[in-house]
Amino acid sequence: MSKKTRRHHTPDQNINLLRRHHLAKVPVSEVCEGAELQPSVFYGWLRHLFEHGAAAFGESRKRVETSREQELLAENERLRARLARKDEVIAEVTEELVRTKTTVGEP
């Protein structure tokens, strides 16, 4: 009795085998036979694809949002800095006005 070593497939190989079945309509038995793969492993990959497939769409969307989000965060920081500077100027002008009114004698 000879012991078979476990074969490891890359994610690209997994997708290519799944693609052959779904797009090229090659039967599972043929795909598995050609890849020396148990059908249970193939169906496990298929289940994993459907359970985690949303992540594939979420990642590309997330990258676009992240880029836009970074732009908005940069603009937000720039506007906060301008607002802080305006607050400082208003505080200085108000302080000067109060000082001027106290020296002139107005309440």
Residue 78 falls within a domain, yes or no? yes
Whether 3 maps to a domain, the answer reads no
Over range 68-96, report the average pLDDT.
95
CA angle 48, 63, 65 (to 5 degrees): 120
Q: What total of structural domains would you count in the chain?
A: 1
Q: Is residue 41 part of a domain?
A: yes
How crowded is the C-beta side of 102, counted as CA atoms within 13 Å?
6
pTM for this one?
0.51
Within-domain flag for 2: no
The overall average pLDDT reported for the chain is 87
Q: Quick one: pLDDT at residue 64?
A: 61
The answer as to whether 1 is a domain residue is no
For residue 4, being part of any structural domain is answered with no
Length of the chain: 107
CB–CB of 28/39 below 8 Å?
yes
C-alpha to C-alpha distances, 18 to 1, 2, 21, 50, 103, nearest whole angstrom: 31, 29, 5, 11, 85
Parent domain of 49: 11-104
pLDDT band at 54 (very low <50, low <70, confident <90, very high): confident
- For 39, the 3-state DSSP assignment is helix
